[in-house]
């Protein structure tokens, strides 16, 4: 079910700016959210547990995932075959915080407030509570030297 993404789109491009030979590259990715099925875990009479679907498979779908990544790079050439390359990568440029994985079981769960072992106990609905969220905006600076 995690591979069920019926709509996927990716646009990639690069452009060499006419001044200073600076290369600008970008990626845009958009895909359907994964399907989620409400479930319940039931103890069996002979031991163990059985997970039972409470609705048709993929009845609920998470939000669409959209990301934009950007790269700016510049090469500096020296005598012979020596070259210094510098680049700046910006991932998740829009700082989207899209939920891409959730809990699927129906009953509520008890959690400690702020994850503190001595924190207040809170009961929260388990179904659709996030377990994975798209990482934050990341900036990376890279430099390489060829000789």
pLDDT per residue over 2-34, tens digit each? 567 888 999 999 999 988 889 999 999 999 998
16, exposed or middle or buried, with CB in 10 Å at 0-12, 13-18, 19+? exposed
Q: Model pTM?
A: 0.74
Average pLDDT over residues 62-87: 93
Q: What is the pLDDT of residue 99?
A: 93
- Whether residue 66 is predicted with pLDDT greater than 90 in this model: the reply is yes
* Number of Cβ atoms within 10 Å of the Cβ of 104: 21
- Whether residue 80 is predicted with pLDDT greater than 60 in this model: the reply is yes
Phi first, then psi: give them for residue 114, nearest 5 degrees.
60, 20
Average pLDDT over residues 83-98: 95
- Whether residue 64 is predicted with pLDDT greater than 80 in this model: the reply is yes
Average pLDDT for the chain: 90
Q: How far apart are CA 26 and CA 10, in angstroms?
A: 11
Residues in the chain: 147
């Amino acid at each position: 079910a995690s591979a069920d993404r019926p709509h996927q789109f990716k646009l990639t491009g690069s452009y060499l700016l006419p001044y200073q030979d600076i290369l600008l590259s970008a990626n845009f990715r958009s895909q359907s959210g994964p399907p989620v099925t409400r479930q319940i875990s039931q103890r069996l009479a002979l031991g163990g547990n059985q997970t039972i679907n409470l609705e048709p498979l993929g009845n609920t779908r998470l939000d669409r995932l959209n990301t934009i990544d950007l790269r700016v790079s510049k090469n500096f050439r020296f005598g012979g075959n020596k070259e210094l390359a510098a680049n700046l990568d910006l991932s998740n440029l829009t700082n989207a915080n899209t939920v891409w994985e959730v809990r699927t079981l129906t009953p509520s769960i008890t959690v400690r407030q702020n994850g503190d072992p001595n924190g207040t106990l809170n009961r929260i609905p388990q179904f659709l509570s996030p377990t994975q969220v798209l990482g934050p905006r990341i900036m990376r600076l890279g430099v390489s030297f060829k000789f």
